[in-house]
Amino acid sequence: MPRIKTRDGIELYTKDWGQGRPVILLHGWPLTADTFDDLSMAIADAGMRAIAYDRRGFGRSEQTFNGYDYDTMADDLADVIASTGANDATILGFSMGGGEVARYMSRHGGANLRSAVLVSSVVPYMLQTEDNPNGTPQSTFDEMTEGMVEDRAHFFAGFFKDFYGVGMFDKAVSSEVLDWSVRQAMMAGLKPTLACAKAFATTDFRPDLAAFNVPTLIIHGTDDKTVPIDAAGRAAAAGINQSTLIEYEGAPHGLFATHRQRFIDDVLAFLRR
């Protein structure tokens, strides 16, 4: 697989499948581009090109000590777009990746894009504040940090049960999917894991919403315990022009796995417009 070098010399592991109009896929925390394999195959089989890369510090990409702010990560996205020659592209961000979509819009003017997709995204603002009462309390993020510092592997074993809604409905995902997700998470360095958790928890994307200048699909589960829909999907839809919100009733955060076929069908229908 190719490795793309960013403007500051960091190598990003990239999967580039298929030919045709490009779709760039931005994975969630603390996972890798592998979470998009099912969607990437469907995109390639539909006559388009799926480009998915491991975020810096995660998966098989280079692990730096710095660069885990959204400005830098949006620049990484711009470098991937330039290196792959992805024109007239769609960018899709899952969870943390939604923030890179928003920051690319404001920092790079949405260059070379025709559309965008936000899936279970942290946009526009996760942190609970006086002017964002539906957000997540700082204490929750503090507990997450403490858990990761104490025993990261144990923390993720529990984290992914909420992520996939295990216990919310029968057979949310297999135990093997949970194990696979933990393995992906443990590929990341401790520094990027902690730094990116801070970034997605505290970055306010509300000022970025006005920069969305392309049709945008928003997909979010109503029972998302990781990124609750009121402060995220619904708020994003209210603030982004040309946006369409699809709510998955009862779906958890990791709906790309729990609602795989519906998710693929909805994304392909949007891409074919």
Amino acid sitting at position 22: P
CATH number, position 174: 3.40.50.1820
Question: Given this model, what pLDDT does residue 172 score?
Answer: 85
Sheet holding 11-18, edge to edge: 3-5, 11-18, 49-53, 22-26, 89-94, 113-119, 216-221, 243-248
- pLDDT score, position 57: 98
Domain range holding 169?
3-271
Q: Which two three-digit tokens encode residue 100?
A: 């890179």
Active site residue: 27, 76, 220, 253, which one? Answer: 253
Number of compact structural domains in the chain: 1
Give the CA count within 13 Å in the CB-facing half-sphere of 103: 23
Is 27 known to be catalytic? no
> Tell me, what's the pLDDT at 167?
80
Residue 246: predicted pLDDT? 98
Instruction: Select which of 16, 27, 75, 95 is catalytic.
Output: 95
Q: What pLDDT, on the 0 to 100 scale, is given for residue 169?
A: 59
Catalytic residue among 224, 243, 259, 266: 224
- Judge whether 95 counts as a catalytic residue: yes
Residues of the chain falling short of pLDDT 70: 1, 168-171
Backbone angles phi, psi at 271, to 5 degrees: -65, -30
Q: Residue 21 — left, alpha, or beta (φ > 0 → left; ψ -120 to 50 → alpha)? A: beta
The predicted-structure confidence for 103-138, as pLDDT tens digits, reads as follows: 999 999 999 999 999 999 999 999 999 999 999 999
**pLDDT value at position 125?**
98
Nearest to 140 by CA among 126, 158, 121, 120: 126
